[in-house]
């Protein structure tokens, strides 16, 4: 096990897959000569050259479509969209071309592309550089969505996404690239489907993904130490498809659920998880499930307002205490 950073894990997955298969390429803004805004492609340009490590013009719709077209012929492009806010410009190609081509061609063509992008609020980046958009991607037929919460997942999910024949959107987080964690020394493929019980508990399930897994873990610690509440933390690293069986199994055990997401509430991960709970195990519930989420405002620049917009572990603790009648 190596203790490496999230960005190093992503870089390693690129490097291994590019060394293995000459049709694996990567592209994006500043990923080559500059090494990538988050260093996720550091050193690859020098190793694999400009034909396979493509510094693109600032044309998100254009180069995303180019990647999709190349994938029709068996090329495996890894596209970095520098910020998920810019992905709006590329969504036509992701949704209308990549996600639909297999279906509308009756299975003749497929678009095995990987789209990686950093979302989330960092530090006072304002309304157009702070969005969380996973909820937009997770409702698209034909598109897989995964979101790594640690370096091991960042490495293993990217490895699997490159190999998978379906288009995969990988939702990363601006604040997590320097997070350290254990990654297996040998080659490792993380499942693209399912969920992971990160901490076992008996009284309430805290569902998180990506950064919110860490709020849940911290909240579980506080709930255990200060309030004697045993919280289970479930990491929903796959947002499309969501793990119905995993959600059901945990809630059937704890009978209570809190879903924590950095995204705004409407039509989000929380809405979807709670709908699944209703469909799968409504009669197991001892309390109404709740969501912890951002305020529905364009991200404010002001530091105090920004902090007030985004939830954290304290909001998860509060939601659980309220559920238990302790707040």
Partner 1 sequence: MKIEDKKRVLREMVLHRRFEERCYQAYIERKIGGFLHLYPGQEACCNGVMEAARPGHDYVITGYRDHVHAIKCGADPKEVMAELYGKETGSSKGRGGSMHIFDAGKRFMGGYALVGGPFPLAAGIAKAIQLKGGDEIAICFLGDAANNQGTFHETMNMAALWKLPVLFVCENNLYGIGTSIERSTAVIHQHKRVAAYNIPADECDGQDVEIVYQHARKAVDHVRAGNGPYFLELMTYRYRGHSMSDSRGYRSREEEELWKQRDPIFILRDRLIAEGAMTMADYEAIEKETDAYIENEVIKFSEESPEPRVEDLEKYVLADRETQLPWLTGKAA
From 161, 234, 251, 310, residue interacting with partner 1 (rule: CB under 8 A) = 161
Check residue 89 and report its DSSP letter. G
Q: Is residue 166 within the footprint of partner 1 (CB under 8 A)?
A: yes
From 106, 186, 228, 325, residue interacting with partner 1 (rule: CB under 8 A) = 106
Map residue 305 onto helix, strand or coil: helix
Map residue 117 onto helix, strand or coil: strand
Q: Is residue 65 within the footprint of partner 1 (CB under 8 A)?
A: yes
Binding mask 289-318 for partner 1 (x = CB under 8 A): ------------------------------
- Sheet containing strand 168-173, edge to edge, reads 53-55, 24-28, 76-81, 114-119, 168-173, 144-146, 238-240
Q: Is residue 68 within the footprint of partner 1 (CB under 8 A)?
A: yes
Measured from the CB atom, the residue of 52 and 291 that comes closer to partner 1 is: 52
Shortest Å distance, C-beta 83 to partner 1? 18
Q: Is residue 15 within the footprint of partner 1 (CB under 8 A)?
A: no
Measured from the CB atom, the residue of 156 and 268 that comes closer to partner 1 is: 156
Shortest Å distance, C-beta 111 to partner 1? 10
# chain residues binding partner 1, by CB under 8 A = 55
The first and second tokens of residue 67, run together, are 């990647």
Cα angle value 263/254/244 (rounded, 5°): 55
CB crowding 61-98: b at 16 or more within 10 Å, else e:
bebbbbbbbbbbeebbbbbbbbbbbbbeebbebbbebb
Q: Is residue 278 within the footprint of partner 1 (CB under 8 A)?
A: no
Q: How far apart are CA 88 and CA 218, in angstroms?
A: 33
Shortest Å distance, C-beta 239 to partner 1? 14
From 45, 63, 137, 155, residue interacting with partner 1 (rule: CB under 8 A) = 63
CB-count burial class (<10 Å; 0-12, 13-18, 19+) for 200? middle
Q: How far apart are CA 68 and CA 311, in angstroms?
A: 36
Shortest Å distance, C-beta 279 to partner 1? 18
CB 257 within 8 A of CB 277: yes
Binding positions for partner 1, 179-218, rule CB under 8 A: 187, 189-194
65 conformational bin, left if phi > 0, alpha if psi -120 to 50, beta if neither = alpha
**Residues involved in catalysis:** 60, 129
Measured from the CB atom, the residue of 25 and 121 that comes closer to partner 1 is: 25
From 1, 19, 20, 22, residue interacting with partner 1 (rule: CB under 8 A) = 22
Binding positions for partner 1, 74-93, rule CB under 8 A: 74-75, 92-93
Q: Is residue 173 within the footprint of partner 1 (CB under 8 A)?
A: no
Q: Is residue 25 within the footprint of partner 1 (CB under 8 A)?
A: yes
Cα 239 to Cα 2, 14, 133, 280, 307: the distances in Å are 27, 22, 12, 17, 25
Provide the binding-site residues for partner 1, judged by CB under 8 A: 22-23, 25, 51-52, 54, 56-57, 59, 61-75, 92-93, 96-97, 101-110, 141-142, 144, 156, 160-161, 163-166, 187, 189-194
């Amino acid at each position: 096990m190596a203790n490496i950073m999230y960005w190093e894990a992503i870089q390693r997955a690129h490097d291994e897959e590019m060394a293995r298969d000459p049709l694996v390429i990567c592209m994006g803004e500043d990923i080559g000569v500059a090494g990538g805004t988050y260093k996720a492609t550091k050193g690859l340009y020098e190793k694999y050259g400009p034909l396979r490590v493509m510094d693109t013009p600032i044309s998100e719709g254009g180069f995303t479509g180019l990647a999709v077209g190349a994938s029709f012929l068996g090329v495996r492009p890894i596209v970095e969209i520098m910020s998920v806010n810019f992905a709006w410009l590329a969504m036509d190609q992701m949704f209308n071309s990549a996600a639909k081509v297999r279906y509308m061609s009756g299975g003749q063509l497929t678009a095995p592309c990987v789209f990686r992008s950093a979302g989330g609020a960092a530090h006072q980046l304002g309304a157009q550089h702070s969005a969380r958009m996973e909820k937009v991607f997770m409702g698209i037929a034909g598109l897989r969505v995964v979101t790594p919460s640690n370096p091991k997942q960042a490495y293993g999910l990217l490895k699997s996404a490159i190999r998978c024949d379906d288009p995969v959107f990988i939702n990363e987080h601006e604040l997590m690239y320097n997070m350290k964690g254990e990654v297996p020394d040998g080659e490792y493929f993380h499942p693209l489907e399912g969920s992971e019980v990160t901490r076992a508990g008996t009284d309430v399930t805290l569902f998180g993904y990506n950064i919110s897994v860490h709020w849940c873990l911290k909240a579980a610690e506080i709930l255990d130490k200060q309030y004697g509440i045993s919280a289970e933390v479930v990491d929903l690293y796959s947002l499309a498809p969501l793990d119905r069986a995993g959600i059901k199994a945990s809630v059937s055990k704890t009978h209570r659920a809190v879903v924590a997401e950095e995204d705004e509430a409407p039509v989000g991960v929380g809405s979807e998880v709670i709908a699944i709970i209703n469909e799968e195990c409504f009669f197991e519930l001892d309390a109404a499930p709740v969501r912890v989420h951002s305020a529905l405002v364009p991200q404010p620049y002001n530091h105090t307002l920004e902090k007030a917009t985004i939830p954290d572990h304290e909001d998860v603790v509060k939601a659980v205490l309220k559920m238990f009648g302790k707040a």
